[in-house]
Each structure stands twice: as structure tokens, then as C-alpha cells.
Amino acid sequence: LEELILIEAAQGSFSPDGKQIAYNKVGRENRTWKRYRGGMAQEVYLYDFETNQERNITNYAGTDRLPMWIGGKIFFSSDRDGMLNIYVYDVSSGQINPVTSHKEYDVRRPSAGSGMIVYELGGDIWLLNSAT
């Protein structure tokens, strides 16, 4: 067991090589705030353990949360379109693109494993193949 040097950290996901971590500084998944823009707004940060450098990779005034590192991409949920949907950050290009476009319900509790993302939407369980 080893204590990480991150002072503020909530949800996180390690890079495949273990040299970096994508994480939120603020955890507020159990809050029901919609389209929140304030001091508790979540951003996704990238921390490099070799250089001890941190950077904000999402730079958005609203909610960017629950990063999931799969291959060379970091998936996360964001309310950029008014609803919580899944977006992807390409580590090599720095580009952010939408992956889902749900209009009626927020994407809740996404979790990644084996290249797949499972999440709850309107009381149903959805499965997303991160490669498509």
C-alpha cells in the first residue's frame, strides 16, 4: 500500500503503463445538481508520476467526471450538451469528442473493463464497446 502524492483526488484511472493517472479533484457523484457551474464543478486532470506534473485536460466550466483510461484514450462523463453523456479524450491529439448522445436521461455510474464501458441510463444497464 502506497500513499499517492495527490493532495486532492477523487475518482481515478491509471494509464496502461501505470506512469500517469487521470482523475477528478472533486467527487460529487451522489449530488443531483444539474448543469452545475461553480466551485465544485469537476474537471479531469492528468498527473505524470515521472515528471510530477499535473494538467487539466478538459477545461470546461461544467461537469467532467469519472475518467476511465482505455488504451490511448480517456473516457469520461460530461454535461457539455446539457445531459451527462460519455466523451472521449485522445491522449495523443488532445481532442475531445462525444461518444454517446442520450437526450432523455443522464449517463450514471460508468465503469470500464476489458475495453467495455457499462453504465446506467434511466434505470437500464447499457454496454458500450470503447473501440466503436
What is the residue extent of each domain of the chain? 12-106
Residue 28, pLDDT > 70, answer no
CA distance 115 to 64: 20
Higher pLDDT, 84 or 6: 84
Is the Cα dihedral 126, 77, 6, 94 positive or negative? Answer: positive
**pLDDT tens-digit readout, 35-58:** 767 666 789 999 999 999 999 999
Residue 85 contacts residue 75 (beta carbons within 8 Å): no
To 10 degrees, the CA torsion angle through 31, 61, 130, 125?
A: 20
Q: pLDDT band for 19, please (50, 70, 90 cuts).
A: very high
Whole-structure pTM value: 0.89
CA distance 117 to 6: 26
The per-residue pLDDT for 36 is: 62
Higher pLDDT, 118 or 30: 118
Of the candidates 59, 57, 97, the one whose C-alpha atom is nearest the C-alpha of residue 81 is: 97
Q: Tell me the three cell numbers of residue 30.
A: 451522489
The per-residue pLDDT for 112 is: 96
Q: pLDDT band for 13, please (50, 70, 90 cuts).
A: very high
Residue 11, pLDDT > 90, answer no
Q: How many other CB atoms sit within 10 Å of the CB of residue 120?
A: 15
Average confidence (pLDDT) over 99-128: 96
